[in-house]
Amino acid sequence: AAIAMPDADLEAACFGNAAAARELGVTMYLAPIVDVVDGTNPWLLNRTLGRDPDVVARLGAAFVRGVQKAGIATATKHFPGFNHLPLDPALTDVVLETETGQIEVYAETFAAMIAAGTRAVMVGPAAVRSIDPINAACVSPAVISMLREKFGFTGLVISDDLDAPATARGQNLIDTAVASLNAGAELLLFSGRSHLRQISEGLVEAVSSGDLSERRLLQAAERVRSFVSS
């Protein structure tokens, strides 16, 4: 039904939804999902906006405009887009095998969300072999640099769940968190709350050991504070 709606009507519907959520104290939607899936992807099954990049861009941009007009930030995900993953990265260490050229074509949906003003972008949970075969996207300096430099995004960069097997890739949570910050992420996402104290203490220790610069940690913290207060 949303595909057939005029942009103005869709934007108004999203505004109404977000305005109600704002009354309840919600400040951010971890949405929209603008991955264009043209193959298998059990992780994103029934969660995407369509298979046509132009349709996804139009629907997503209306969502961003409407939601943010109501005072809720949008976190567009999952950069750079995961068109085909045979397994769920939340359960298995899986890698995106798509060539860079095709990734860049589908990633234009993110360019549309950035143009629409999305305040945050979440970087995906699996490695993108053609860009960085070693690190998951949200732990990859190359992928986050692509978001910043090629796409010109200046807002908040959010990791995906750092405790996902495809993200950790055998590392412990603290090392994964440090790697994500060093790669350029600013707000770190974990699926469970039980790790928070351990991770906070681990980040402080990483600064003491030199694995994470104090400047990088302070920069990330300040960007999150500014984001929350604005």
SS3 category, 193: coil
Distances (CA, A) of 184 to 23, 74, 180: 32, 19, 7
Interatomic CA distance for residues 153 and 118, integer angstroms? 9
Among 106, 108, 118, smallest CA distance to 67 is for 118
DSSP 124: P
Contacts of 168 (CB under 8 A, 6+ apart): 136, 162, 176
Number of domains within the chain = 1
53-69 vs 108-116: helix crossing angle, rounded to 10: 20
Exposed/middle/buried for residue 209 (C-beta within 10 Å: 0-12, 13-18, 19+): exposed
Print pLDDT tens along the chain (230 aa).
Answer: 677 889 999 999 999 999 999 999 999 999 999 999 999 999 999 999 999 999 999 999 999 999 999 999 999 999 999 999 999 999 999 999 999 999 999 999 999 999 999 999 999 999 999 999 999 999 999 999 999 999 999 999 999 999 999 999 999 999 999 999 999 999 999 987 778 889 999 999 999 999 999 999 999 999 999 999 88
User: Torsion angle, CA of 148/80/51/190, rounded to 10 degrees?
Assistant: -110
User: What is the C-alpha separation between 76 and 124, in angstroms, rounded?
Assistant: 10
Can you read off the two tokens belonging to residue 178?
């440090």
Sign of CA pseudo-dihedral 124, 126, 131, 135: positive
Residue 86: give its domain's CATH number. 3.20.20.300
pLDDT, position 23: 97
For β-strands 28-29 and 120-123, DSSP reports them as: unpaired
Range of the domain at 143: 2-229
